[in-house]
Amino acid sequence: MAAIAGDGFKPWVWVWLSDMNGVIGLCVALALITAGYKLSTTKSSTATATATASESNPRAEAKEKDVMDYEPAEMVIEPLENFDWRATEPARYLPIKPVYHITMALQQDTPSNLITIDKDYLDRVTLRRRLIDEKGHAVHGYLPRGEESVAELYAYLLQDYLPVRYPTMFRLRPDGFENMVTGKTFPTQPPRDADVALRSLGETVEEDLFLLHETPEGHMCVAFMCCFPSGFDPSQKFGNLLKDIHTPVPSYAKIGSSMERFFSKLQVGKGVKRLNWSVQTNSDLYTLGNHIKEDETEVTPEDSIDVNQTYFRVELQTLTRLPKTRAVLFSFKTYLYSIRQIKEQGSGPELADAIEGLKTGNAPVTSDERERYTEIIDDILATADLETISRKKVRQALEGRLGGKDLNEQKEAIKRLIEARFDAVSGADADAPEPSPHKRSNGVSGNDETDPSASPEPAKKKVKRSSPSEDADARLAAQLQAQENSLARGRTTRGGGDRTVKKRKAPRKKSAKKVRDDDESDANGSGDSGVKKRKAGGGFQKPFNLSTTLSDICGETQLSRPQVVKRLWEHIKANDLQDPADKRQIRCDAKMQAVFKQARVDMFKMNKEIGNHLYPVGEE
């Protein structure tokens, strides 16, 4: 795989996309190197197509023993009676955002939209037929367990879907299914040879097709027809589980379990769609290779990049449940848009923002880094005073443990990881010692500092690392809750700022700092004698007023968010409220129903809703 050489990506992104000077190669490299996305520079194949099927198409003459019985599926398809594919422009998608977040980003779709066709149809299916002949099983294959699913998909598309949805292009005849655009005819009943069925589908629709079966280990790819891979080898995904297929995707672990659950619950007739994008330095639709990885990057000189041959590649992806075999069909149609055209149409700055945003969001660290950093952060927190430690100090200690590695570019991801680990240690561990109380002005100390007038503790408290077997569920909840912490920290306190804090002299003892934002400084708003401005947000131990219903569970009217999480889990454990069949689900008793307004709540919902019951101290 190839990437573009050069430093200082950000200025070049804006130079070309905003001012049309320079090269797009740099923005391409930034998009793909920083987020682990796909950069494809595969040269177009020079092999000459060799057709193996005659124009009369012997498949249409298949004997009865070569086909399988199939009963039509019951899904409503809306016909496009007067559809003119030659006059239909390809859809335009620009799914870019200024900050990249790893999400499923699904939208509901109807069965009618499974296959999309436009004026590129004939060129695309002609190319697909050539690729099938040239590449063979590099672009299609199946496992024995997938044969029935292939047959069901074949029959559904050729019998039920295409002739109904696009009657001006496809029709059923006594001798089979006729493609009036290509002149091809195929049997309406699925061939017994799944390989023949896949080849026929491959030259009839533009969409690439993957069939997955649910197994005890997860969903497995049991069959595929993929002529337009984008930087990956489809034959290497074949036979793999969903989690293994997505190994190269940055931070896939964040959504992996959610995706498995979603696949399991997908209903017939209620498909979904999403969009995926990348940038490539050629116009090839078949870009075989591996998803780019940092250690596989091959440098390409900037002056070798042809701006006119650089494209924004979008996949319109769909998920559909087949009614009989219950297989999940993952399909996608590929669109290519010239980067120059995007710039000329005024979307250059937005694309530049999106490319720059790939190194922020929630996926700038690899799964290996996350695992390694988590272990180190847990070790740091295990020997730290949780009442005075800050994110900045933890990050600096982490950098030290990594041999002085500069983590500034991963600052946001590291910040969230530190927050999650702090919550796991201080909030989810039911055996962790309570933080000591401190006197505050109106419940909030100036600049989030502890009051020296409070009696000092004889020694710093240290928290033992929690046992994964004892606190696995609570840790998961705390990590899910971490993403909501930023909302709580962002609330300002009305009437709680700009207060003078009276301090007693304490020789040789400075005010202990509470945890604050990564960009904290020792003197925020300094210069006013005795007066410090309180920073919006606060530290891990920032106290909140609890709603009446939440206070009824926690037994306190004012707690920090980690303490609330801890008290909730104490209540859940004490009352045996976790569903034994799925411990992510909490069965709400009367007290919890008063807070969450439902009989059952999952961990994510629970931790999300907590924020609605926390109010800044001092707010009426």
- 275: amino acid identity, one letter: L
Q: Check: CB of residue 289 under 8 Å from CB of residue 233.
A: yes
Rounded mean pLDDT, 230-259: 78
List the domains of the chain with CATH numbers.
Answer: 2-357 (no CATH), 367-500+510-523+531-616 (1.10.245.10)
**Residue ranges with strand state E in 269-421:** 272-280, 298-300, 311-321, 328-338
Structure tokens at 53: 């099927």
pLDDT at 328: 97
Q: Check: CB of residue 388 under 8 Å from CB of residue 512.
A: yes
pLDDT at 289 over 70: no
540: pLDDT confidence band, cut at 50, 70 and 90?
A: low
Neighbours of 305 (CB within 10 A): 20
Radius of gyration of the chain (CA): 29
Query: Of 245-249, 410-414, 576-580, which gets the smallest average pLDDT?
Result: 245-249
Residue range 12-67, pLDDT digits in tens:
333 344 443 333 443 443 333 333 333 333 333 323 222 323 333 434 444 444 55
Rounded mean pLDDT, 208-233: 94
Q: How far apart are CA 385 and CA 78, in angstroms?
A: 64
pLDDT at 165 over 90: yes
Closest CA to 81 of 187, 154, 10, 164: 164
State CA 102 to chain mean position distance: 2
C-alpha separations of 490 from 373, 444, 515, 563 in Å: 26, 15, 14, 18
pLDDT at 73: 52
Which has more pLDDT, 358 or 422? 422
Which has more pLDDT, 532 or 235? 235
Closest CA to 17 of 356, 281, 289: 356
Mean pLDDT for all residues in the chain: 72
DSSP labels, 326-337: -PEEEEEEEEEE
359: pLDDT confidence band, cut at 50, 70 and 90?
A: low
pLDDT at 485: 45
pLDDT at 288: 81
State CA 49 to chain mean position distance: 38
Structure tokens at 531: 């007066």
pLDDT at 305: 72
pLDDT at 104: 62
Instruction: Record the pTM.
Output: 0.52
Query: Of 11-20, 88-97, 136-145, 246-255, which gets the smallest average pLDDT?
Result: 11-20
> Which residues lie closer than 8 Å to 54 by C-beta, 6 or more apart?
none
pLDDT at 358: 64
- The SS3 of residue 614 is strand
pLDDT at 152 over 90: yes
The H-or-E segment that residue 173 falls in is strand 170-173
Which has more pLDDT, 561 or 330? 330
Q: How far apart are CA 321 and CA 367, in angstroms?
A: 30
74: pLDDT confidence band, cut at 50, 70 and 90?
A: low
pLDDT at 100: 59
Residue range 117-143, pLDDT digits in tens:
999 999 999 999 999 999 999 999 999
pLDDT at 231 over 80: yes
Residue range 586-616, pLDDT digits in tens:
999 999 999 998 899 876 577 668 888 988 8
Q: Check: CB of residue 619 under 8 Å from CB of residue 488.
A: no
pLDDT at 333: 98
- Residue 8 burial class via C-beta count within 10 angstroms: exposed 0-12, middle 13-18, buried 19 and up: exposed
Which has more pLDDT, 111 or 470? 111
Which has more pLDDT, 554 or 23? 554
Q: How far apart are CA 237 and CA 244, in angstroms?
A: 8
Q: Check: CB of residue 93 under 8 Å from CB of residue 316.
A: yes
Question: Residue 319's beta-bridge partner residues?
Answer: 272, 330
The H-assigned helical ranges of 185-247 are 194-202, 234-237, 242-245
pLDDT at 445: 34
Rounded mean pLDDT, 318-344: 94
Rounded mean pLDDT, 205-218: 95
Rounded mean pLDDT, 451-459: 39
Q: How many CA atoms lie within 13 A of 60 on its CB side?
A: 17
pLDDT at 75: 80
The H-assigned helical ranges of 231-366 are 234-237, 242-245, 253-265, 339-344, 348-357
Residue range 372-402, pLDDT digits in tens:
898 999 889 888 876 677 888 898 999 999 9
Neighbours of 275 (CB within 10 A): 16
pLDDT at 247 over 80: no
- The SS3 of residue 530 is coil
